[in-house]
Protein backbone atom coordinates (compact mmCIF):
# COMPACT_ATOMS: atom_id res chain seq x y z
CA UNK A 1 0.00 0.00 0.00
CA UNK A 2 1.19 3.53 -0.80
CA UNK A 3 2.41 5.62 2.16
CA UNK A 4 0.17 8.39 0.84
CA UNK A 5 -2.09 8.93 -2.13
CA UNK A 6 -1.61 12.42 -3.47
CA UNK A 7 -3.67 14.06 -6.20
CA UNK A 8 -1.50 16.49 -8.13
CA UNK A 9 -3.15 19.42 -9.85
CA UNK A 10 -0.26 21.13 -11.57
CA UNK A 11 -2.54 23.64 -13.27
CA UNK A 12 -1.54 26.52 -15.51
CA UNK A 13 1.44 28.77 -16.21
CA UNK A 14 4.30 28.07 -13.83
CA UNK A 15 2.14 25.58 -11.90
CA UNK A 16 3.59 22.47 -13.59
CA UNK A 17 7.18 23.73 -13.22
CA UNK A 18 7.01 24.40 -9.50
CA UNK A 19 4.94 21.33 -8.74
CA UNK A 20 7.47 19.20 -10.61
CA UNK A 21 10.14 20.32 -8.16
CA UNK A 22 7.87 19.89 -5.17
CA UNK A 23 7.28 16.28 -6.20
CA UNK A 24 11.03 15.65 -6.39
CA UNK A 25 11.32 16.86 -2.82
CA UNK A 26 8.29 14.87 -1.71
CA UNK A 27 9.69 11.67 -3.22
CA UNK A 28 13.05 12.33 -1.61
CA UNK A 29 11.69 12.59 1.91
CA UNK A 30 8.76 10.18 1.69
CA UNK A 31 9.49 7.36 -0.74
CA UNK A 32 6.46 5.36 -1.82
CA UNK A 33 4.04 8.21 -2.35
CA UNK A 34 1.47 7.43 -5.02
CA UNK A 35 0.83 10.54 -7.08
CA UNK A 36 -1.93 10.89 -9.65
CA UNK A 37 -2.11 13.89 -11.96
CA UNK A 38 -5.35 15.70 -12.61
CA UNK A 39 -5.73 18.09 -15.48
CA UNK A 40 -7.71 21.04 -14.10
CA UNK A 41 -7.50 24.78 -14.52
CA UNK A 42 -7.67 27.39 -17.26
CA UNK A 43 -6.22 25.17 -19.96
CA UNK A 44 -8.81 22.46 -19.44
CA UNK A 45 -11.58 25.05 -19.17
CA UNK A 46 -10.62 26.58 -22.50
CA UNK A 47 -10.29 23.16 -24.15
CA UNK A 48 -13.43 21.49 -22.79
CA UNK A 49 -15.52 24.11 -21.00
CA UNK A 50 -15.26 21.99 -17.86
CA UNK A 51 -14.03 23.30 -14.52
CA UNK A 52 -14.47 20.41 -12.11
CA UNK A 53 -16.60 17.50 -13.32
CA UNK A 54 -18.36 15.54 -10.57
CA UNK A 55 -16.46 12.40 -11.55
CA UNK A 56 -13.14 14.18 -10.95
CA UNK A 57 -14.37 15.56 -7.63
CA UNK A 58 -15.27 12.01 -6.60
CA UNK A 59 -11.81 10.76 -7.58
CA UNK A 60 -10.07 13.58 -5.73
CA UNK A 61 -12.03 12.62 -2.63
CA UNK A 62 -10.25 9.26 -2.62
CA UNK A 63 -6.85 10.87 -1.96
CA UNK A 64 -5.06 11.76 1.25
CA UNK A 65 -4.19 15.22 0.03
CA UNK A 66 -4.07 17.45 -3.03
CA UNK A 67 -0.94 19.28 -4.17
CA UNK A 68 -1.84 22.21 -6.39
CA UNK A 69 0.46 24.43 -8.45
CA UNK A 70 -1.55 27.37 -9.72
CA UNK A 71 -4.68 27.71 -11.78
CA UNK A 72 -5.91 30.54 -13.93
CA UNK A 73 -4.99 32.89 -16.70
CA UNK A 74 -6.20 36.39 -17.53
CA UNK A 75 -8.66 35.19 -20.19
CA UNK A 76 -10.91 33.22 -17.83
CA UNK A 77 -13.81 35.39 -16.56
CA UNK A 78 -13.50 36.35 -12.87
CA UNK A 79 -15.09 33.83 -10.55
CA UNK A 80 -15.16 30.83 -12.88
CA UNK A 81 -12.12 28.97 -11.56
CA UNK A 82 -12.29 30.60 -8.15
CA UNK A 83 -15.87 29.51 -7.39
CA UNK A 84 -15.89 26.46 -9.61
CA UNK A 85 -12.60 24.92 -8.54
CA UNK A 86 -10.69 26.46 -5.62
CA UNK A 87 -13.63 27.47 -3.45
CA UNK A 88 -15.60 24.39 -4.48
CA UNK A 89 -12.82 22.17 -3.15
CA UNK A 90 -12.49 24.23 0.05
CA UNK A 91 -16.23 23.99 0.70
CA UNK A 92 -16.97 20.46 -0.54
CA UNK A 93 -13.98 19.02 1.31
CA UNK A 94 -14.77 21.07 4.42
CA UNK A 95 -11.30 22.62 4.44
CA UNK A 96 -12.14 25.00 7.23
CA UNK A 97 -8.58 25.82 8.25
CA UNK A 98 -6.82 27.95 5.69
CA UNK A 99 -3.27 27.91 7.00
CA UNK A 100 -0.80 30.56 5.93
CA UNK A 101 2.56 30.82 7.63
CA UNK A 102 4.81 33.83 7.00
CA UNK A 103 8.47 33.99 7.88
CA UNK A 104 11.15 36.44 7.00
CA UNK A 105 13.65 33.77 6.03
CA UNK A 106 17.38 33.98 6.74
CA UNK A 107 19.17 35.34 3.70
CA UNK A 108 16.14 37.27 2.46
CA UNK A 109 15.20 40.89 2.84
CA UNK A 110 11.68 42.18 3.12
CA UNK A 111 10.53 45.71 2.34
CA UNK A 112 10.60 46.89 5.96
CA UNK A 113 13.72 48.80 6.94
CA UNK A 114 13.68 47.85 10.61
CA UNK A 115 12.87 44.15 10.49
CA UNK A 116 15.61 41.55 10.36
CA UNK A 117 15.44 37.94 9.12
CA UNK A 118 13.82 35.53 11.56
CA UNK A 119 12.06 38.38 13.36
CA UNK A 120 8.80 37.67 11.56
CA UNK A 121 7.44 34.19 12.17
CA UNK A 122 3.66 34.14 12.22
CA UNK A 123 0.88 31.97 10.96
CA UNK A 124 -2.57 33.10 9.96
CA UNK A 125 -5.33 30.59 10.60
CA UNK A 126 -7.99 31.81 8.22
CA UNK A 127 -11.50 30.37 8.32
CA UNK A 128 -12.12 28.66 4.97
CA UNK A 129 -15.76 27.63 4.65
CA UNK A 130 -17.94 30.53 5.81
CA UNK A 131 -18.20 34.29 5.91
CA UNK A 132 -18.49 36.32 2.73
CA UNK A 133 -17.17 33.33 0.79
CA UNK A 134 -20.42 31.43 1.32
CA UNK A 135 -21.71 32.66 -2.02
CA UNK A 136 -24.84 34.11 -0.44
CA UNK A 137 -25.80 37.18 -2.37
CA UNK A 138 -27.66 38.42 -5.38
CA UNK A 139 -28.73 41.36 -7.45
CA UNK A 140 -32.00 43.02 -8.42
CA UNK A 141 -32.68 45.36 -11.34
CA UNK A 142 -29.32 44.44 -12.81
CA UNK A 143 -27.96 46.92 -15.33
CA UNK A 144 -30.49 49.59 -14.42
CA UNK A 145 -30.05 52.70 -12.28
CA UNK A 146 -32.08 50.89 -9.59
CA UNK A 147 -29.66 47.96 -9.32
CA UNK A 148 -28.94 46.65 -5.85
CA UNK A 149 -26.39 43.92 -5.18
CA UNK A 150 -25.84 42.10 -1.92
CA UNK A 151 -23.20 39.84 -0.42
CA UNK A 152 -23.89 38.08 2.80
CA UNK A 153 -21.42 36.96 5.42
CA UNK A 154 -22.66 33.77 7.11
CA UNK A 155 -21.05 32.76 10.37
CA UNK A 156 -21.97 29.82 12.56
CA UNK A 157 -20.87 29.04 16.07
CA UNK A 158 -19.91 25.60 14.76
CA UNK A 159 -17.72 27.01 12.00
CA UNK A 160 -16.17 29.79 14.05
CA UNK A 161 -15.43 27.74 17.13
CA UNK A 162 -13.72 24.89 15.30
CA UNK A 163 -11.28 27.15 13.50
CA UNK A 164 -10.51 29.03 16.72
CA UNK A 165 -9.85 25.68 18.40
CA UNK A 166 -7.42 24.82 15.65
CA UNK A 167 -5.62 28.16 16.13
CA UNK A 168 -5.21 27.56 19.86
CA UNK A 169 -3.96 24.01 19.23
CA UNK A 170 -1.34 25.34 16.83
CA UNK A 171 -0.33 28.09 19.24
CA UNK A 172 0.14 25.46 21.93
CA UNK A 173 2.75 23.74 19.74
CA UNK A 174 4.65 26.98 19.07
CA UNK A 175 7.16 28.79 21.20
CA UNK A 176 5.40 32.06 21.89
CA UNK A 177 1.95 30.60 22.51
CA UNK A 178 -0.04 33.64 21.55
CA UNK A 179 -3.26 33.98 19.55
CA UNK A 180 -4.57 37.22 18.11
CA UNK A 181 -8.20 37.39 17.06
CA UNK A 182 -8.82 39.82 14.22
CA UNK A 183 -12.30 41.01 13.34
CA UNK A 184 -14.26 44.23 13.11
CA UNK A 185 -16.48 43.91 16.17
CA UNK A 186 -17.19 47.63 16.31
CA UNK A 187 -18.98 47.63 12.96
CA UNK A 188 -19.84 44.00 12.16
CA UNK A 189 -21.47 43.67 15.54
CA UNK A 190 -23.41 40.41 14.97
CA UNK A 191 -20.65 38.33 13.43
CA UNK A 192 -18.09 40.15 15.55
CA UNK A 193 -19.89 39.26 18.74
CA UNK A 194 -20.10 35.61 17.71
CA UNK A 195 -16.38 35.50 16.96
CA UNK A 196 -15.50 37.32 20.18
CA UNK A 197 -17.63 35.06 22.37
CA UNK A 198 -16.37 31.86 20.72
CA UNK A 199 -12.81 33.14 21.11
CA UNK A 200 -13.31 33.93 24.78
CA UNK A 201 -14.79 30.48 25.40
CA UNK A 202 -11.90 28.64 23.76
CA UNK A 203 -9.35 30.94 25.40
CA UNK A 204 -10.77 30.05 28.79
CA UNK A 205 -9.80 26.42 28.14
CA UNK A 206 -6.21 27.50 27.38
CA UNK A 207 -5.05 29.65 30.29
CA UNK A 208 -1.44 29.03 29.18
CA UNK A 209 -1.96 30.82 25.89
CA UNK A 210 -1.76 34.60 25.60
CA UNK A 211 -4.59 36.25 23.71
CA UNK A 212 -5.32 39.61 22.17
CA UNK A 213 -7.98 41.16 19.95
CA UNK A 214 -7.50 43.67 17.14
CA UNK A 215 -9.79 45.30 14.63
CA UNK A 216 -8.89 44.33 11.08
CA UNK A 217 -7.84 47.86 10.11
CA UNK A 218 -5.48 48.06 13.09
CA UNK A 219 -4.10 44.60 12.34
CA UNK A 220 -3.46 45.57 8.72
CA UNK A 221 -1.49 48.53 10.01
CA UNK A 222 0.45 46.62 12.66
CA UNK A 223 1.37 43.92 10.14
CA UNK A 224 3.33 46.69 8.44
CA UNK A 225 4.65 48.57 11.45
CA UNK A 226 5.22 45.71 13.95
CA UNK A 227 4.82 42.31 12.26
CA UNK A 228 7.11 40.84 14.91
CA UNK A 229 4.29 41.05 17.43
CA UNK A 230 2.22 38.26 15.87
CA UNK A 231 2.43 34.54 16.52
CA UNK A 232 -0.88 32.88 15.56
CA UNK A 233 -3.59 35.08 14.05
CA UNK A 234 -7.10 33.70 13.70
CA UNK A 235 -9.65 35.49 11.57
CA UNK A 236 -12.52 35.14 9.16
CA UNK A 237 -12.34 34.18 5.51
CA UNK A 238 -12.19 37.62 3.89
CA UNK A 239 -10.03 39.30 6.52
CA UNK A 240 -7.69 36.32 6.27
CA UNK A 241 -7.47 36.74 2.53
CA UNK A 242 -6.31 40.33 2.92
CA UNK A 243 -4.09 39.91 5.98
CA UNK A 244 -2.19 36.97 4.53
CA UNK A 245 -1.25 39.00 1.48
CA UNK A 246 0.07 41.76 3.75
CA UNK A 247 1.99 39.16 5.75
CA UNK A 248 3.39 37.79 2.50
CA UNK A 249 4.33 41.30 1.38
CA UNK A 250 6.29 42.14 4.54
CA UNK A 251 8.16 38.84 4.29
CA UNK A 252 9.32 39.43 0.75
CA UNK A 253 6.30 38.93 -1.45
CA UNK A 254 4.03 36.06 -2.34
CA UNK A 255 6.89 34.28 -4.10
CA UNK A 256 7.73 32.45 -0.88
CA UNK A 257 4.27 32.08 0.66
CA UNK A 258 2.83 28.60 1.22
CA UNK A 259 -0.70 27.64 2.14
CA UNK A 260 -2.86 24.75 3.11
CA UNK A 261 -6.64 24.40 2.96
CA UNK A 262 -7.05 21.88 5.67
CA UNK A 263 -9.67 19.59 7.08
CA UNK A 264 -7.92 18.80 10.37
CA UNK A 265 -10.00 15.68 11.00
CA UNK A 266 -8.83 14.27 7.63
CA UNK A 267 -12.42 13.38 6.80
CA UNK A 268 -11.67 14.82 3.36
CA UNK A 269 -8.45 15.53 1.49
CA UNK A 270 -6.73 18.77 2.35
CA UNK A 271 -5.15 20.91 -0.34
CA UNK A 272 -1.71 22.53 -0.36
CA UNK A 273 -0.63 25.23 -2.75
CA UNK A 274 1.73 28.16 -3.14
CA UNK A 275 -0.04 31.50 -2.70
CA UNK A 276 1.44 32.84 -5.93
CA UNK A 277 -0.54 32.57 -9.14
CA UNK A 278 0.20 31.02 -12.51
CA UNK A 279 2.48 33.92 -13.59
CA UNK A 280 1.92 33.45 -17.34
CA UNK A 281 4.61 36.05 -18.07
CA UNK A 282 7.43 33.80 -16.89
CA UNK A 283 5.86 30.39 -17.55
CA UNK A 284 7.88 27.84 -19.50
CA UNK A 285 11.22 29.58 -19.04
CA UNK A 286 12.44 27.39 -16.22
CA UNK A 287 13.02 30.37 -13.93
CA UNK A 288 10.05 30.15 -11.53
CA UNK A 289 11.04 29.80 -7.89
CA UNK A 290 9.67 26.51 -6.56
CA UNK A 291 10.26 27.52 -2.91
CA UNK A 292 6.60 28.27 -2.14
CA UNK A 293 5.44 25.02 -3.73
CA UNK A 294 8.07 23.12 -1.74
CA UNK A 295 7.08 24.87 1.49
CA UNK A 296 3.47 23.94 0.74
CA UNK A 297 4.66 20.34 0.47
CA UNK A 298 6.12 20.68 3.96
CA UNK A 299 2.67 21.71 5.20
CA UNK A 300 1.23 18.67 3.42
CA UNK A 301 3.74 16.36 5.10
CA UNK A 302 3.00 17.83 8.48
CA UNK A 303 -0.74 17.41 7.96
CA UNK A 304 -0.34 13.78 6.93
CA UNK A 305 1.57 13.00 10.11
CA UNK A 306 5.18 13.27 8.96
CA UNK A 307 6.49 16.18 11.02
CA UNK A 308 10.13 15.09 10.68
CA UNK A 309 9.97 15.01 6.92
CA UNK A 310 8.18 18.37 7.00
CA UNK A 311 10.94 19.82 9.15
CA UNK A 312 13.65 18.56 6.83
CA UNK A 313 11.95 20.12 3.82
CA UNK A 314 11.53 23.42 5.62
CA UNK A 315 15.17 23.38 6.69
CA UNK A 316 16.28 22.66 3.16
CA UNK A 317 14.39 25.73 1.96
CA UNK A 318 15.86 27.83 4.77
CA UNK A 319 19.38 26.68 3.85
CA UNK A 320 18.76 27.32 0.16
CA UNK A 321 17.51 30.85 0.83
CA UNK A 322 20.40 31.65 3.20
CA UNK A 323 22.98 30.70 0.63
CA UNK A 324 21.43 32.45 -2.35
CA UNK A 325 23.58 35.28 -3.61
CA UNK A 326 21.62 38.28 -4.77
CA UNK A 327 21.35 38.06 -8.54
CA UNK A 328 22.90 34.60 -8.79
CA UNK A 329 21.32 32.65 -11.65
CA UNK A 330 18.51 30.42 -10.48
CA UNK A 331 17.00 27.65 -12.56
CA UNK A 332 13.82 26.06 -11.28
CA UNK A 333 15.10 22.51 -11.77
CA UNK A 334 18.47 23.15 -10.10
CA UNK A 335 16.74 24.56 -7.03
CA UNK A 336 14.45 21.52 -6.89
CA UNK A 337 17.43 19.15 -7.14
CA UNK A 338 19.30 20.96 -4.38
CA UNK A 339 16.24 21.01 -2.10
CA UNK A 340 15.52 17.33 -2.69
CA UNK A 341 19.12 16.37 -1.96
CA UNK A 342 19.28 18.52 1.16
CA UNK A 343 15.95 17.34 2.53
CA UNK A 344 16.81 13.67 1.94
CA UNK A 345 20.18 13.87 3.67
Ligand X SMILES: CC(C)[C@H](C(=O)O)[C@@H](O)C(=O)O
Residues serving a catalytic function are 133, 184, 217, 241, 245
The residue range among 15-23, 58-66, 220-228, 331-339 that interacts with a copy of itself, by the rule CB under 8 A, is 220-228
- CA 126 from chain center: how many Å? 9
Residue 155: name its binding partner from ligand X, a copy of itself, none (Cβ under 5 to 8 Å by kind). Answer: a copy of itself
Q: Return all residues near 18 (Cβ < 8 A) that are at least 6 apart.
A: 69, 70, 274, 288, 289, 290, 292, 293, 332
- Residue from the set 155, 180, 270, 296 that interacts with a copy of itself by CB under 8 A: 155
Min dist CB 331 to a copy of itself, Å, is 25
Residue closer to ligand X, measured from CB, 18 or 335: 18
Closest by CA position to 93, among listed 258, 239, 234, 266: 266
| Residues in 96-115 that interact with a copy of itself by CB under 8 A | 109, 111-114
Q: How many CA atoms lie within 13 A of 89 on its CB side?
A: 30
Phi and psi dihedrals of 60, rounded to 5?
-55, -40
Residue closer to a copy of itself, measured from CB, 224 or 344: 224
DSSP label of 12: S
Q: Return all residues near 184 (Cβ < 8 A) that are at least 6 apart.
A: 192, 215, 216, 217, 239
- Which residue of this chain has its Cβ atom nearest to ligand X in the complex? 82
Neighbours of 189 (CB within 10 A): 11
Q: How far is CA 152 from CA 85, 91, 133, 139, 286, in A?
A: 21, 16, 8, 12, 42
- Residue from the set 50, 119, 151, 217 that interacts with ligand X by CB under 6 A: 217
Q: In what order do the strands lie in the sheet with 65-70?
A: 33-37, 4-11, 65-70, 270-274, 258-262, 97-103, 121-127, 232-235, 178-183, 210-215
Residue closer to ligand X, measured from CB, 165 or 276: 276
b vs e for 220-247, b when ≥16 Cβ sit within 10 Å of the residue's Cβ?
Answer: eebbeeebbbbbbbbbbbbbbbbbbebb
The residue range among 7-15, 31-39, 151-159, 327-335 that interacts with a copy of itself, by the rule CB under 8 A, is 151-159
Min dist CB 153 to a copy of itself, Å, is 4
Determine, following the binding rule CB under 6 A, whether residue 92 of this chain makes contact with ligand X. Answer: no
Residue closer to a copy of itself, measured from CB, 62 or 217: 217
- Residue from the set 5, 27, 61, 82 that interacts with ligand X by CB under 6 A: 82
- Furthest-apart CA atoms within the chain: distance in Å: 65
Query: Residues in contact with a copy of itself, total (CB under 8 A)?
Result: 64
- Residue from the set 61, 241, 311, 337 that interacts with ligand X by CB under 6 A: 241
Polymer length in residues for the chain: 345
Min dist CB 71 to a copy of itself, Å, is 12
Determine, following the binding rule CB under 8 A, whether residue 55 of this chain makes contact with a copy of itself. Answer: no
Residue closer to ligand X, measured from CB, 30 or 300: 300
Determine, following the binding rule CB under 6 A, whether residue 151 of this chain makes contact with ligand X. Answer: no
- Residue from the set 51, 171, 188, 304 that interacts with a copy of itself by CB under 8 A: 188
Contact of 164 with 202, CB cutoff 8 Å: yes
Determine, following the binding rule CB under 6 A, whether residue 186 of this chain makes contact with ligand X. Answer: yes
Neighbours of 335 (CB within 10 A): 23
* Binding-site ranges for a copy of itself (CB under 8 A): 78-79, 82-83, 87, 109, 111-114, 132-133, 137-139, 141, 143-158, 184-194, 197, 216-218, 220-222, 224-225, 238, 241-246, 248-250, 253-254
Residues that bind ligand X (CB under 6 A): 82, 86-87, 186-187, 217, 241
Amino acid sequence: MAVARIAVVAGDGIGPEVVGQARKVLDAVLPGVEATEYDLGAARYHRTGEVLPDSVLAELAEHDAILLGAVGDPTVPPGVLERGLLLKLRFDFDQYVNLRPSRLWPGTTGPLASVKPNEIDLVVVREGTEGLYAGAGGALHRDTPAEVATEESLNTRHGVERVIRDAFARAGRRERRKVTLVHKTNVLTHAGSLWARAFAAVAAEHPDIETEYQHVDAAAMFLVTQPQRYDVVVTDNLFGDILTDIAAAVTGGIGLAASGSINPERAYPSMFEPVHGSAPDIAGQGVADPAAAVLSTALLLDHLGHPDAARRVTEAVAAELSSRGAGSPRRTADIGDRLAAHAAS
